[in-house]
């Protein structure tokens, strides 16, 4: 089985697995970074969203062999040193999560937006977040929380 | 466990809820935490006093046990709030932990006065409300009693403030934490009469906006769902199940599968083939390679969900009565007397739960098969030990369930099929096994809200009053279909619900709000059709129907006021209204929509809803549940359709079974909660059933056309527009 070296949340991790194994299983099952969730395995729901060199990616559709050793992977566990990213605080203020299962993916997706665009419009927020499903129906609060975090940026 | 149980038996412990004195045993000391590491260090135990619901530590920390599964509905916070209110606890000092799974101690009475630990039908807060107030009041009594003894003052002279006992006459006060060292067990703990409980105007916690306890762990990835659990030597299990429910497998390449690297076992099931492997990727790779011949000689074979609706129509049109589920007055006689008759038919396709966390469970069956430990998210925690014990032929007390957060329940997680599967895989291999359902497994071997057809007939008298309403429902699943067909809040003197059952062999189940979704769609559409025929305003006809139901009427008036019903919306838009009751909550909803005629896409711009849910324990959480219920309702109304051809499920994942995305959420959802001091009612499903009717009614106002078949997919809407 091939060996891989990954940069995740600022640390180097070595993993032995088949070349086709999605990054999602590597994170969750090999490295016990379980904040990143499995929802569909098909790039349809966004529960598995992580950052690859700062861009939001669906880790369920990224085979480990497609990653370069020097690419920086960030998961929800590494988004902020203390869980106090402005989005995480806004998420608490707006009481966004219900079951919570989709929320790591939502926050990672939103964080990538604010990195690029600190003052997104409502339309920009919606189009950026459209790939992330929430079965509990927290969408209206997600929009409010992103707006709140953006306001906190100013 | 052993050691601490010895520690504990030396101490004097206190009684618990409901006036029942409990023998306190070690199980109360090591509740399983959902989502965080254990905070209780056994060495601290000497400093704790315990009853079944509350731990009080001498530093003032108050741990309250949450007896319910947390699946997003927020009762993990709401239930401790109820207890803390009567205990007069300082909320900042409260910690919440998951209660041990012990039905006698932590169950609530439901379903014929049986004690249960089950979280279904929005019953959790209402089911526990009285018991938790009593438990909190009794815990407070114990503290008061101890201080009265210690200070030698009559207990009546003592009072409490948040986490403090005060003696006004002498100006003394003592914190709850300090009472630990002087705690004295009363001879017996009286049932606190309801007149001695707080009155609503004394509430400090109930009805106040408090943040949900589980939210912080759900924004940093630390909340643990069952799917996140890892245990030593854990293996991975998957099953291949048939696309035709109930089909029986014969595996034709067992030797090939067995020879794959990392495959530990192939485990046969009557309806599928299980594989256990050392890693998840190996298990999934093996699953993909399974060559299975399916014996499809089962009921589901031949079922075609769309063309079978014609047979449903024939059943509805047949003259013989089905099973009468509900009856007031004499519908047939009233129908004969009626001046004008109305008939309409409504249909709904199968829909699937699509809870975001696919089903999964971890089971570790001991090598000798005589005990088992389970990690799972379940809506039915009280049933797991007996179910697993039966499977293994052991006693229920040899099964331990570690209840985790649920990534959605929605009715799917009140069965334990997935837990039993994990147990069988662990038993067969002697390893702890994490059983994973892929999204495809979850969808295709799901348990759906049944396909149904509803034929409504009404008669009106010379004044246009509805004097008879006959509601005929055709489909699979008895009570799954009938819930919500009864109209207790509409003054219609003669009503009947007539159920005509089919058997299609498809796995069916409660789906958020159960039969209320299709039934309220039919009833609320039908009321508007009659109103339109009579030239009445949809609000006015309901006002008249609700004249004897003031609480329901109040939600109607409130929603109309919020939506500015009497002011017409912008051109190209229309509003629609619907009412429904579910689990005791009364709810009116109004939506404002527009339609893209080219595509057939309906947009909901705003949704207003007023709900009477009795006493509101956690207001912001009620709002969240109402919002989520509306969005899930919209998802079912616009997007969700599961179809079956020759018994085979046709969809497999979110690409062909879409659920509502953020772009289709309304710009605003406004919720009003009616002030009430009644006991709490269920809120988790209150808003879902009103969505379809409100949208269909708005659509009819806008276009003059009726949508009669859920979901209102763009292609269907277009066909209706072009007809
Ligand atoms: S799990 Fe990756 S997008 Fe759904
Ligand atoms: S919070 Fe439950 S799926 Fe989004």
Q: Residue A148 is part of a domain; what is its CATH number?
A: 1.10.150.120
pLDDT tens digits, one per residue of B517-557:
999 999 999 999 999 999 999 999 999 999 999 999 999 99
Residue B35's pLDDT is: 27
A75 → chain B, closest CA residue: B221
Which ligand lies nearest to the CA atom of residue B655 in the structure?
1
User: Is the omega angle on the peptide bond into residue B711 within 30 degrees of 0, that is, cis?
Assistant: yes
Which ligand lies nearest to the CA atom of residue B406 in the structure?
2
Among B72, B213, B220, B283, the residue to mutate for chain A (most A Cβ within 10 A): B220
Let me know how long chain B is.
723
**Residue A98 and residue B72: Cβ atoms within 8 Å?**
yes
Please tell me if residue A17 touches chain B, with a CB cutoff of 8 Å: yes
Q: Would you call B536 exposed, middle or buried from its count of C-beta atoms within 10 A (0-12, 13-18, 19+)?
A: middle
Last residue in a domain, options A20, A44, A78: A78
Strands of B86-198, DSSP E: 94-98, 108-110, 114-116, 158-161, 164-167, 172-175
Question: How far away, in angstroms, is A43 Cα from ligand 1 center?
Answer: 4
What are the Cα distances from residue B675, in Å, to B28, B133, B515, B555, B612?
37, 20, 28, 11, 7
Judge whether residue B5 has pLDDT over 90.
Answer: no
Instruction: Assess whether B288 and B320 both reside in one domain.
Output: no
B213 belongs to a structural domain? no
What are the DSSP calls for B492-507, one per residue? -SEEEEEEEE------
pLDDT tens digits, one per residue of B212-225:
999 999 999 999 99
Distance CA B524, CA B580 (A): 8
Nearest to A139 among B357, B625, B662 (CB): B662
Instruction: Assess whether A66 and A93 both reside in one domain.
Output: no
Residue with more model confidence, B428 or B43: B428
Last residue in a domain, options A46, A78, A110: A78
Question: Residue B238: CB partners within 8 Å, gap ≥ 6?
Answer: B274, B275, B283, B284, B286, B287, B435, B436, B437, B438, B441
CB-hemisphere CA count at 13 Å for B467? 17
Last residue in a domain, options A78, A102, A122: A78
**Whole-number percent of chain B with pLDDT over 70:** 93
B169 belongs to a structural domain? yes
Residue B51's pLDDT is: 58
pLDDT tens digits, one per residue of B664-684:
999 999 999 999 999 999 999
Single out the residue of B488, B481, B516 nearest to residue B589, CA to CA: B516
Last residue in a domain, options B149, B175, B208: B208
pLDDT tens digits, one per residue of B305-352:
999 999 999 999 998 888 999 999 999 999 999 999 999 999 999 999
- Looking at the structure of chain A, the number of domains it has is 2
pLDDT tens digits, one per residue of B578-604:
999 999 999 999 999 999 999 999 999
Instruction: Assess whether B100 and B240 both reside in one domain.
Output: no
* Domain containing residue B200: CATH number: 3.30.365.10
**Residues B507 and B271: beta-carbon distance below 8 Å:** no
B218 belongs to a structural domain? no
For residue A118, give how far its alpha carbon lies from the nearest alpha carbon of chain B (Å).
20
Residue B104: pLDDT band by 50, 70, 90 thresholds? Answer: confident
Single out the residue of B237, B234, B287, B235 nearest to residue B260, CA to CA: B287
Instruction: Assess whether A102 and A52 both reside in one domain.
Output: no
Instruction: Assess whether B246 and B343 both reside in one domain.
Output: no
Instruction: Assess whether A9 and A70 both reside in one domain.
Output: yes
Domain around B241: 226-298+359-436
Question: Residue B584: left if φ>0, alpha if ψ -120 to 50, beta else—which one?
Answer: left
B606 → chain A, closest CA residue: A140
How far is C-alpha B85 from the geometric centre of its chain's CA atoms?
25
Instruction: Assess whether A7 and A74 both reside in one domain.
Output: yes
Q: Which residues line ligand 2 (CB under 6 A)?
A: A 97-103, 134-136, 138; B 72, 356, 408
Judge whether residue B48 has pLDDT over 70.
Answer: no
Distance CA B16, CA B131 (A): 10
Helix axis angle for B381-392 and B417-429, nearest 10°, is 40
Residue B243's pLDDT is: 93
Instruction: Assess whether B380 and B317 both reside in one domain.
Output: no
Distance CA B96, CA B79 (A): 10
Question: Residue B455: CB partners within 8 Å, gap ≥ 6?
Answer: B313, B316, B317, B343, B344, B345, B471, B472, B474
Distance CA B311, CA A12 (A): 62
Per the prediction, chain B carries an average pLDDT of 91
Instruction: Assess whether B267 and B346 both reside in one domain.
Output: no
- Looking at the structure of chain B, the number of domains it has is 3
**Residues B651 and B717: beta-carbon distance below 8 Å:** no
Judge whether residue B704 has pLDDT over 70.
Answer: yes
Instruction: Assess whether B177 and B36 both reside in one domain.
Output: yes
B441 belongs to a structural domain? no
Residue A153: pLDDT band by 50, 70, 90 thresholds? Answer: confident
Strand B158-161 to strand B114-116: parallel, antiparallel, or no bridges (unpaired)?
A: unpaired
Instruction: Assess whether A59 and A96 both reside in one domain.
Output: no
pLDDT tens digits, one per residue of B273-298:
999 999 999 999 999 999 999 999 99
B36: DSSP letter: S
Interface contacts A/B by beta carbons within 8 Å: 174
Lowest mean pLDDT, pick from A119-123, B30-34, B213-217, B270-274: B30-34
* Domain containing residue A38: CATH number: 3.10.20.30
Instruction: Assess whether A53 and A34 both reside in one domain.
Output: yes
A133 → chain B, closest CA residue: B661
Is B101 strand, coil or helix? coil
Instruction: Assess whether A45 and A93 both reside in one domain.
Output: no
Question: How far away, in angstroms, is A46 Cα from ligand 1 center?
Answer: 5
Q: Copy the structure tokens of residue B43.
A: 């060495």
What are the Cα distances from residue B541, in Å, to B335, B458, B538, B587, B701?
20, 14, 5, 16, 15
A19 → chain B, closest CA residue: B281
Instruction: Assess whether B184 and B250 both reside in one domain.
Output: no
The mean pLDDT of A140-146, rounded to a whole number, is: 98
Judge whether residue B14 has pLDDT over 60.
Answer: no
Instruction: Assess whether B194 and B243 both reside in one domain.
Output: no
Q: How far apart are the first and last CA of chain A?
A: 49
- Selected residues 55-94 of chain A with any CB under 8 Å from a CB in chain B: 75-77, 79, 83, 88, 91-92
Instruction: Assess whether A62 and A93 both reside in one domain.
Output: no
B654 → chain A, closest CA residue: A44
For residue A144, give how far its alpha carbon lies from the nearest alpha carbon of chain B (Å).
11
pLDDT tens digits, one per residue of A61-97:
999 999 999 999 999 999 999 999 999 999 999 999 9
Instruction: Assess whether B532 and B464 both reside in one domain.
Output: yes
B215 belongs to a structural domain? no
Residue B276's pLDDT is: 98
Instruction: Assess whether B456 and B402 both reside in one domain.
Output: no
B3 belongs to a structural domain? no
Last residue in a domain, options B436, B458, B489: B436
What are the Cα distances from residue B262, in Å, to A1, B277, B519, B687?
12, 5, 50, 48
**Whole-number percent of chain B with pLDDT over 90:** 85
Instruction: Assess whether A140 and A102 both reside in one domain.
Output: yes
B206: DSSP letter: T
pLDDT tens digits, one per residue of B564-582:
999 999 999 999 999 999 9
**Residues B518 and B348: beta-carbon distance below 8 Å:** yes
User: Residue written as tokens 């298990």?
Assistant: B283
Instruction: Assess whether B402 and B315 both reside in one domain.
Output: no
Domain around A62: 3-78
Question: How far away, in angstroms, is B74 Cα from ligand 2 center?
Answer: 12
Helices (H), B197-354: 254-258, 280-289, 308-317, 331-337
Instruction: Assess whether B336 and B363 both reside in one domain.
Output: no
Strand partners, B269: B272
Instruction: Assess whether A11 and A28 both reside in one domain.
Output: yes
For residue B222, give how far its alpha carbon lies from the nearest alpha carbon of chain A (Å).
6
Which ligand lies nearest to the CA atom of residue A96 in the structure?
2
For residue A84, give how far its alpha carbon lies from the nearest alpha carbon of chain B (Å).
9
The best mutation among A45, A48, A106, A135 to test binding of ligand 2, ranked by most ligand atoms within 8 Å of the C-beta, falls on A135
Question: Residue B257: CB partners within 8 Å, gap ≥ 6?
Answer: B251, B263, B266, B275, B286, B289, B290
B217 belongs to a structural domain? no
CB-hemisphere CA count at 13 Å for B201? 0
**Residue B654 and residue A92: Cβ atoms within 8 Å?**
no
Atom of ligand 2 nearest to the CA of B407: 2
Question: How far away, in angstroms, is A63 Cα from ligand 1 center?
Answer: 13
Instruction: Assess whether A51 and A107 both reside in one domain.
Output: no
In chain B, what is the greatest distance between 2 CA atoms, to the nearest angstrom? 85
Instruction: Assess whether A56 and A102 both reside in one domain.
Output: no
Residue B224's pLDDT is: 97
């Amino acid at each position: 089985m091939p060996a891989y070296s990954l940069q995740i949340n600022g640390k180097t991790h070595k993993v032995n697995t088949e070349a086709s194994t999605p990054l999602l299983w590597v994170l969750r099952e090999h490295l016990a970074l379980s904040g990143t969730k499995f929802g569909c395995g098909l790039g349809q729901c966004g529960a598995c969203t992580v950052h690859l060199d700062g861009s939001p990616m669906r880790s369920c559709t990224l085979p480990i062999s497609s990653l370069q050793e020097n690419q920086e992977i960030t998961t929800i566990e590494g988004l902020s040193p203390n869980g106090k990213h402005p989005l995480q605080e806004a998420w608490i203020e707006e009481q966004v999560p219900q079951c919570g299962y989709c929320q790591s993916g939502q926050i990672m997706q939103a964080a990538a937006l604010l990195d690029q665009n600190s003052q997104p419009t409502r339309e920009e927020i919606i189009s950026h977040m459209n790939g992330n499903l929430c079965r509990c129906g927290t969408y209206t609060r997600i929009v409010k929380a992103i707006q709140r975090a953006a306001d906190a940026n100013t | 466990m052993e050691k601490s149980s010895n520690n504990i038996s030396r101490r004097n412990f206190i009684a618990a809820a409901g006036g029942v004195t409990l023998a306190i045993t070690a199980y109360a000391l090591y509740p399983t935490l959902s989502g965080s590491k254990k905070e209780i260090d056994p060495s601290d135990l000497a400093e704790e006093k315990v009853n079944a619901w509350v731990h009080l530590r001498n530093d003032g920390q108050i741990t309250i046990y949450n007896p319910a599964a947390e699946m997003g509905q927020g009762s993990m916070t709401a239930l401790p709030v109820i207890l803390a209110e009567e205990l007069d606890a300082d909320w900042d000092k409260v910690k919440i932990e998951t209660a041990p799974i012990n039905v006698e101690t932590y169950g609530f009475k439901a379903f014929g006065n049986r004690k249960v630990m089950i979280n279904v039908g929005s019953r959790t807060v209402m089911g526990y409300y009285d018991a938790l107030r009593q438990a909190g009041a009794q815990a407070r009594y114990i503290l008061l009693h101890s201080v009265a003894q210690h200070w030698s003052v009559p207990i009546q002279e003592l009072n409490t403030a948040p986490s403090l006992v005060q003696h006004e006459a002498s100006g003394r006060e003592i914190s709850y934490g300090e009472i630990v060292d002087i705690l004295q067990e009363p001879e017996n703990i009286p049932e606190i009469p309801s007149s001695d409980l707080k009155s609503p105007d004394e509430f400090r916690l109930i009805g106040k906006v408090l943040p949900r306890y589980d939210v912080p762990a759900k924004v940093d990835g630390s909340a643990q769902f069952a799917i996140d659990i890892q245990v030593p030597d854990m293996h991975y299990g998957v099953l291949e199940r048939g696309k035709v429910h109930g089909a029986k497998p014969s595996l034709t390449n067992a030797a090939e599968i067995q020879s794959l690297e990392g495959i530990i076992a192939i485990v046969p099931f009557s309806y599928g083939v299980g594989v256990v492997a050392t890693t998840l990727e190996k298990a999934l790779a093996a699953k993909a390679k399974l060559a299975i011949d399916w014996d499809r000689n089962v009921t589901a074979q031949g079922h075609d969900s769309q063309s079978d609706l014609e047979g449903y129509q024939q059943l509805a049109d047949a003259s013989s009565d089905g099973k009468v589920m509900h009856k007031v007055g004499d519908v047939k006689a009233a129908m004969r007397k009626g001046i004008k008759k109305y008939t309409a038919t409504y249909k709904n396709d199968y829909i699937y739960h699509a809870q975001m966390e696919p089903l999964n469970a971890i089971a570790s069956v001991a090598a000798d098969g005589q005990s088992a430990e389970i990690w799972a998210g379940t809506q039915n925690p009280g049933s797991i030990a007996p179910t697993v014990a039966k499977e293994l032929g052991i006693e229920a007390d040899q099964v331990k369930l570690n209840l985790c957060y649920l990534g959605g329940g929605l009715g799917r997680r009140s069965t334990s099929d997935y837990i039993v599967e994990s147990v069988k895989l662990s038993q067969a291999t002697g390893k702890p096994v994490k059983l994973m359902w892929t999204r495809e497994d979850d969808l295709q071997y799901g348990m759906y809200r049944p396909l149904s057809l509803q034929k409504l007939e009404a008669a009106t008298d010379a004044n246009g009053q509805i004097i008879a309403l006959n509601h005929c429902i055709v489909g699979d699943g008895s009570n799954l279909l009938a819930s919500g067909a009864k109209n207790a809040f509409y003054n219609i003197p003669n009503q009947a619900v007539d159920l005509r059952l089919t058997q299609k062999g498809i796995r069916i189940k409660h789906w958020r709000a159960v039969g209320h979704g299709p039934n309220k769609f039919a009833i609320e559409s039908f009321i508007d059709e009659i109103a339109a025929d009579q030239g009445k305003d949809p609000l006015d006809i309901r006002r008249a129907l609700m004249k004897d139901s003031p609480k329901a009427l109040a939600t109607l008036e409130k929603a109309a006021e919020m939506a500015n019903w009497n002011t017409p919306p912008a051109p190209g838009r229309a509003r629609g209204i619907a009412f429904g009751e579910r689990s005791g909550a009364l709810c009116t909803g109004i939506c404002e929509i527009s339609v893209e005629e080219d595509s057939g896409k309906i947009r909901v711009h705003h949704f207003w809803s007023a709900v009477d849910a009795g006493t509101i324990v956690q207001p912001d959480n009620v709002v969240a549940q109402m919002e989520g219920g509306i969005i899930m309702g919209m998802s079912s109304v616009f997007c969700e359709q599961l179809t079956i051809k020759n018994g085979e499920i046709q969809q497999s994942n979110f690409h062909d079974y879409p659920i509502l995305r953020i772009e289709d959420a309304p710009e605003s959802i406004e919720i009003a909660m009616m002030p009430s001091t009644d006991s709490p009612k269920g809120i988790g499903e209150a808003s879902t059933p009103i969505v379809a009717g409100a949208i269909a009614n708005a659509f009819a106002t806008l276009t003059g056309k009726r949508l009669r078949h859920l979901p209102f997919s763009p292609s269907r809407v277009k066909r209706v527009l072009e007809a």
